[in-house]
């Protein structure tokens, strides 16, 4: 039976560091753009975890905005309200990683069912995929916003399986985010970790991905060769 592939979006299909060029133009110290982007992303995820644990769901864009404001304060960057509004608009149009289109095209041609599975809202993720030219490769878009929970809550992965009408052993979560991979494995799904940085460590929880690859082309090749 063909697997169903659920692709994380932010950091897996879409490059969250794609905002760095704009940060270099907006920050008083352009050389701090990489660090600002990294801290913004980390705080974005932290806020989603915290809101989830509090049972006080807000959508992912709100986590992203609050994380931007925090990073501005923490780094004393002095961004104006207009700067922040502009950076949020840039975040809504982030680019895909260079190999993603070719990898998804290969999977689609092989008849593999592919879906986008994200903490972002359907509107936000749909916009990103459309801008990146990836919409046609996806059979569905599954957003946690429907159930007002965030990854790695087990309810999110249960909702994914229900939405796809797929058995856990036939459902793959493909993500560059280790917490997402661990969450999926804990919920009984198969998982692939896209280790985009060679020095990226995996959490030592005793829960390992079924596959580790350097990018999505490597994943597509390995999956189709099995």
Q: Which residues are catalytic?
A: 8
Does the N-terminal peptide bond of residue 182 adopt cis geometry, omega within 30 degrees of 0?
Answer: no
**What's the rounded Cα separation, in Å, for the pair 39 and 216?**
25
Residues 6+ apart with CB under 8 A from 116: 6, 7, 9, 13, 125, 129, 134, 138, 140, 141, 142
- Are 78 and 23 within 8 A, CB to CB? no
152, 182 Cβ separation under 8 angstroms: yes
Interior angle at CA 58, CA 182 and CA 124, nearest 5: 80
Read off the tokens for 159: 């909702």
What does the CA dihedral 147, 151, 154, 156 come to, rounded to 10 degrees? 30
- Nearest-angstrom CA–CA distance, 74 and 72: 6
State how beta strands 211-213 and 113-118 pair: unpaired
């Amino acid at each position: 039976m063909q697997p169903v592939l659920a692709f994380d979006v932010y950091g897996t299909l879409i490059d969250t560091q794609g905002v760095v060029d704009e940060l270099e133009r907006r920050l008083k110290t352009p050389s701090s753009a990489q660090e600002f982007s990294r801290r913004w992303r980390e705080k974005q995820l932290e806020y989603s975890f915290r809101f989830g644990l509090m049972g006080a769901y807000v959508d992912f864009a709100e986590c992203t905005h609050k994380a931007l404001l925090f990073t501005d304060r923490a780094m004393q960057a002095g961004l104006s309200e207009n700067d922040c509004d502009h950076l949020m608009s840039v975040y809504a149009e982030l680019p895909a990683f260079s190999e993603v289109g070719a990898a998804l095209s290969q999977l689609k041609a092989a008849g593999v069912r592919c879906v986008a599975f994200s903490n972002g809202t359907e509107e936000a993720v749909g916009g990103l995929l459309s801008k990146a030219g990836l919409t046609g490769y996806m059979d569905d878009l599954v957003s946690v916003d429907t159930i007002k929970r965030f990854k790695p809550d087990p309810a999110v992965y249960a909702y994914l399986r229900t939405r796809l009408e797929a058995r856990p052993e036939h459902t793959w979560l493909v993500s560059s985010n280790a917490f997402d991979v661990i969450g999926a494995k804990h919920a009984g799904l198969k998982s692939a970790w896209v280790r985009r940085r060679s020095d990226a460590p995996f959490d030592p929880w005793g829960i390992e991905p079924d596959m580790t690859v350097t990018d999505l082309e490597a994943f597509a090749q390995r999956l189709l060769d099995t």
